[in-house]
Amino acid sequence: MLYIVATPIGNLEDITLRAIDTMRSADFILAEDTRVTRVLLDKYEISKEVISYHQHSKINKIEYIIELLKSGKNLALVSDAGTPGINDPGNYLINKVLEALPDCRVIPLPGPNAAVAALSISGFPSDNFTYLGFPPHKKGRQTFFKKIGEIEETIVFYESKYRIMKALEELRDLSGMGDRLVVVARELTKQFETIYRGTVSEIEKQMESDKNSGLGEFVVVLKSK
Ligand code: SAM
């Protein structure tokens, strides 16, 4: 079996009992960054062999993982934070595993996800929303923001600390967007968790004058039109 195990996005206590049990009883843990995962495993006193699997893993690593599954091993896949496969490695591996072993059971262990956590505290309509992942850094970035301007429903996307202010500026420049309500969720579940709420123009100004606003990890939630 291949277990897809969601892990905390900051607060190490945000983990399910089932996730802990599964990591304890798996034969191996597949991790994006073994050092990050080791911190979590140490907290829950899980001593288990960790195999690295990340976006640059070569095909022979995937073949090795498939061989382990073929020989009946149970594997638990985790990423650095949140739900594996949601904007981090996992999907490609799952696809390859299912191609090679169509009967392999791939089992989700639901848990934290930064996009859903931010959406859940936004107060914006969420019966229908669009998740866009990260805006491209350069090529395609303009198109990404143009598309945002055309979407009716609530929008959720990720942005890095290097481009969060640029993203707000790009949003504000879209016609009619300066007055749209936005939630910028910074460092969710962590010590310096900050939730900025207001219009795009207001939040841009507020974050410009907050010296910590460029630090950490961000989710942007834009209210539906
Ligand atoms: N798989 C993860 C999930 O389920 O949320 C997302 C992985 S993606 C590589 C990492 C991005 O998620 C960060 O750059 C940031 O935009 C967002 N993120 C992750 N943890 C966060 C947190 N604690 N607070 C705010 N955003 C976070």
| Residue ranges, CATH 3.40.1010.10, the chain | 2-109
Q: How far apart are CA 3 and CA 193, in angstroms?
A: 30
Between the CA of 104 and the centroid of ligand 1 the distance, in Å, is: 28
**Identity of the amino acid at 67:** E
Q: Indicate the pairing of strand 75-78 with strand 28-31.
A: parallel
Does the structural domain 114-222 have CATH classification 1.10.10.10?
no
| Residue ranges, CATH 3.30.950.10, the chain | 114-222
**Identity of the amino acid at 33:** D
Q: Which of 198, 193, 189, 191 is nearest to 221 (CA)?
A: 198
Cα 140-150-173 angle, rounded to 5 deg: 70
Q: Is the CB of 79 under 6 A from ligand 1?
A: yes
Per-residue CA distances from 80 to 52, 89, 180, 214 (Å): 11, 10, 32, 21
pLDDT tens digits for the chain (225 residues)? 999 999 999 999 999 999 999 999 999 999 999 999 999 999 999 999 999 999 888 889 999 999 999 999 999 999 999 999 999 999 999 999 999 999 999 999 999 999 999 999 999 999 999 999 999 999 999 999 999 999 999 999 999 999 999 999 999 999 889 999 999 999 999 999 999 999 999 999 999 999 888 899 999 999 999
Q: Outline where the chain has alpha helix (H).
A: 17-25, 34-43, 59-70, 91-100, 114-122, 141-150, 164-172, 200-208
pLDDT number for residue 212: 84
Q: How far apart are CA 13 and CA 218, in angstroms?
A: 20
- DSSP-assigned beta bridge partners for residue 197: 183
pLDDT number for residue 214: 84
> Which residue of 15, 87, 119, 157 sits with most ligand 1 atoms within 8 Å of its CB, as the best mutation to test the pocket?
87
Q: How far apart are CA 206 and CA 196, in angstroms?
A: 8
Q: Is the CB of 194 under 6 A from ligand 1?
A: no
Q: Identify the burial level of 139 via C-beta atoms within 10 angstroms of its C-beta, where 0-12 means exposed, 13-18 middle and 19 or more buried.
A: exposed
Q: Is the CB of 160 under 6 A from ligand 1?
A: yes
pLDDT number for residue 6: 98
Between the CA of 154 and the centroid of ligand 1 the distance, in Å, is: 18
Between the CA of 217 and the centroid of ligand 1 the distance, in Å, is: 6
pLDDT number for residue 55: 86
Q: Is the CB of 217 under 6 A from ligand 1?
A: yes
Which residues have CB under 8 Å from 139's CB, separation 6+? none
pTM, rounded to two decimals: 0.96
Say which CATH topology domain 2-109 has.
Cobalt-precorrin-4 Transmethylase; domain 1 (3.40.1010)
Q: Is the CB of 37 under 6 A from ligand 1?
A: no
